[in-house]
Amino acid sequence: MNFDKSTKIAFIGCGAVGKTLAVALSRAGYSIVAASSRTYDSAKNLASMIEGCIAYETMRDSTDQADLVFITTFDSVIQEVVKSIPWSSNQAVVHCSGATSLDVLKSAESKGALIGSLHPLQAFASVDKALQALPGSTFGIEGEGRLKDYLTQLALDLHGKPMFLRSEDKPLYHASAVTLGGVLMGQTAVIAQIWEDRLGVERNEALKTLVPMIRGVADALEANGIPGGIAGPYVRGDVGTVKKHLDSMKSVSVQAMQMYATTALAGLKFAAEKGVCKTKDVKEIEHLLNAYISKNPL
């Protein structure tokens, strides 16, 4: 089996990830021919976005049309979905989970299908936003031989950066991504709620200030790297300001203070690496952060 842009592709799972990848691949010249999902309406919605793509009510009808199938369902049902389909040696199946190894595709492999994974390292708030964000994103790839080569070219055609993963590394890869993405989202929500509760700014209004700051932080890191892009009171060795921060966050809740202190402590070495503040100030900040953490347990 040869893989190229004429390879017929089907998608199982038509949420934001499936729709974004399908539309992006279609725009890049790939042949998206079929879609199915938990609900037929979702499949029809994806198919309506791509000329020549047909929505099918069953997964089997969808996969029967394709040489390669992307599984873009929830991680928890990938294995169940794969086991329900009678794969052939003329097909390949690729899941899009960042944390899951290829083991969930073994039933397809046992029937001769090639298996792999492609994980776009990006947030998928909406299809339109994700399509704008996709160029430049990293694509975590697992697989072998010609399927690996195909997925690599596919990532490049989407103007992405291929990254090759081993199965044993995927949980750490995904945990690091979620720490950057999901945990950052949670932290931002906490700060927005603090603004609402304590500063009188409705939380979604607060986001209009906070989100541009997040973009600015990303721009600074991209432009200046590590440690050049690191900034704040830790870089300056401003012990007094750090203490004020700890006390004010503690006045909100122990959880808020712990969030501040633990993340500050984790990044302190990079602030010190910048070489602006004195070693004794770094040590004092480290001692202060550890003291607040230990004296105020959750």
DSSP string, 251-273: HH-HHHHHHHHHHHHHHHHHHHH
pLDDT at 171: 94
pTM above 0.85, yes or no: yes
Is residue 100 pLDDT above 90, yes or no? yes
Q: What is the pLDDT averaged over residues 142-170? A: 97
| Average pLDDT rounded to a whole number, residues 73-82 | 96
Q: What are the pLDDT digits (tens) for 197-209?
A: 999 999 999 999 9
Name the H helices within 144-202.
145-157, 170-180, 182-199
Q: Quick check: 78 and 119 in contact, CB under 8 A?
A: no
pLDDT score, position 162? 98
Does residue 2 register a pLDDT over 90?
no
If you average pLDDT over residues 116-136, what whole number do you get?
A: 93
Main-chain phi, psi angles of 121, to 5 degrees: -85, 80
- For residues 161 and 153, give the distance between their C-alpha atoms in angstroms, rounded to a whole number: 10
Mean pLDDT of 235-257: 96
Would you identify the CATH topology of the domain 8-166?
Rossmann fold (3.40.50)
Q: What is the chain's mean pLDDT, rounded?
A: 96
* 125: confidence class by pLDDT, cuts 50, 70, 90: confident
